[in-house]
Amino acid sequence: MAIKILFFGDSITFGLKDKEKGGWIERIRSRFLNLSNPATLKENCEETFWYNLGVPSENTDGLRHRLANELQARVFKKEQPIVVFNYGINDAVIHKNKNWVPLEYFKRNLVEAIQLAQDANAKVLLMTMIPIADFVDNKINQYQQQISNQDLARYAELTLQIAQQSNCESLDLFQTFNEALKLLSADRSGNFSTDFLAGFYANDGIHPNDGGHQILADLIYPVLINLINDNLTNNVQLRY
């Protein structure tokens, strides 16, 4: 059987700033298609369709307005797709002393999005955003906007709560991405350099660069593979 995977998110999902391979989704797809050990997946996986539906600068308000049409165009009856949501950075942007999408609306938007996807018979993976680099944390940019890791932590925490309440899979990239960077940069004494951490971000301190996208791919890949395997197992059971 064929598996469809739909990825929704912002410019990080889109793959911006990964000049080498075009983003973490493409890195995962390439790795998946070049599996040296077919036993990693169920034998009845005939084909996979990967839809990168990330939109630069999008927040959950934008997702709310387009999700139904995106699902209708790509998901048909009796299919069981996988839908991945990765939002939060653009929602948490502070403009005119308030978050662009306040927490209560962020929650409403994600809950509605998950329900739409589940109504389309999809397995949902809800991921938190990654943190931003220290050198831009809480700094005002040229557009008179700012983002803080303190705010992002609140949006990440709410994202995980929503995933639990909505009975969908979750992945805390806000925590694990930071931990992965620290492991890579730590010396033998366990100390790490913030300058080294910044080396996994583009110059804007918000988007991961080639190396940052590879870390994202490494973190997301095993979770996605498990979802694909579960999806295939459930479909095999439904046939009998």
Average pLDDT of the chain to the nearest whole number = 89
pLDDT, tens digit, 9 for 90 and up, residues 170-193? 999 999 998 898 887 765 566 656
Q: Is 95 helix (H, G, I), strand (E, B) or coil?
A: strand
95 or 190, which is more confident? 95
Q: Is the pLDDT of residue 223 over 70?
A: yes
Predicted local confidence at residue 181, as pLDDT: 85
Q: Is the pLDDT of residue 41 over 70?
A: no
Predicted local confidence at residue 140, as pLDDT: 87
Backbone region of residue 196 per phi and psi (left: phi > 0; alpha: psi in -120 to 50; beta: other values)? alpha
Name the architecture of domain 2-239: 3-Layer(aba) Sandwich (3.40)
229-231-232-238 Cα dihedral, nearest 10 degrees: 150
**Bridge partners, residue 9, by sequence:** 54, 86
With CA atoms as reference, report the closest residue to 177 among 206, 136, 154, 146: 206
